[in-house]
Amino acid sequence: MPHRTLKSIVDRQALVHASAGETVAEAVRRMQQNHVGCALVLDGDELKGIFTGSNLVGRVIDKGRDPNAVTVGEVMSPNPVCLPCSSLGFDAVRQMREYGIRHVVVVRADDGFGVVSIHDFPDEELDGYEEEMAFEKQLWEEM
């Protein structure tokens, strides 16, 4: 089951930041260098959005746009789903499934950020999540 806290998942992770005004090509280069699938878009300490590999494919490549000419701010997802670091992995997986996303922003106690991805959860954790959700659904139906 994804019962680990989000803090335990993001504590030692690499995190990539981007600004809304930089090019997609610049952000993707840093994402590749750090082996991550997303970059948080910040204005100072304020979270403005998230730029993911899905944004790159769906809003740049599929549209025939030039990554050297498009800014991150034009194609990012604003207002990403966020959870506090004290939340459980279960909560993050639930949000991912509910909203059809692969990343959830984690708000750290020190006001910093982290990100959890669906890839942070091994298959056996995800299988446990599915079982728990099916049980929860059954309980609601019986009420």
pLDDT of residue 51: 99
Rounded to 5°, angle at Cα 106 from 102 and 109: 175
Kindly compute the dihedral angle of the four CA atoms of residues 54, 104, 82, 70, in this order, to the nearest 10 degrees: -20
More confidently predicted of 132 and 84: 84
pLDDT of residue 126: 76
Supply the CATH number for residue 85's domain.
3.10.580.10
Q: How confident is the model at residue 39 (pLDDT cuts 50, 70, 90)?
A: very high
What are the C-alpha distances in Å from 46 to residues 12, 58, 83, 107, 113?
Answer: 22, 25, 15, 11, 10
Taking the model in full, what pTM does it have?
0.86
Under 8 Å between Cβ of 1 and 81:
no
More confidently predicted of 72 and 12: 72
**How confident is the model over 27-51, as a mean pLDDT?**
97
User: How many domains are contained in the chain?
Assistant: 1
CB environment 28-57: b (16+ within 10 A), e (fewer): beebeeeebbbbbbeeeeebbbbbbeebbe
Residue 37 lies in a domain: yes
109 burial (CB, 10 Å; 0-12 / 13-18 / 19+) is: exposed
Residue 1 lies in a domain: no
Q: How confident is the model at residue 1 (pLDDT cuts 50, 70, 90)?
A: very low
Return the beta strands (E) in the chain as ranges.
Answer: 17-18, 38-43, 46-52, 77-78, 82-84, 103-107, 113-117
Residue 30 lies in a domain: yes
pLDDT of residue 3: 77
**How confident is the model over 42-67, as a mean pLDDT?**
97
Enumerate residues 6+ apart whose C-beta is below 8 A from 79.
49
Domain with 31, as residue range(s), is 6-142
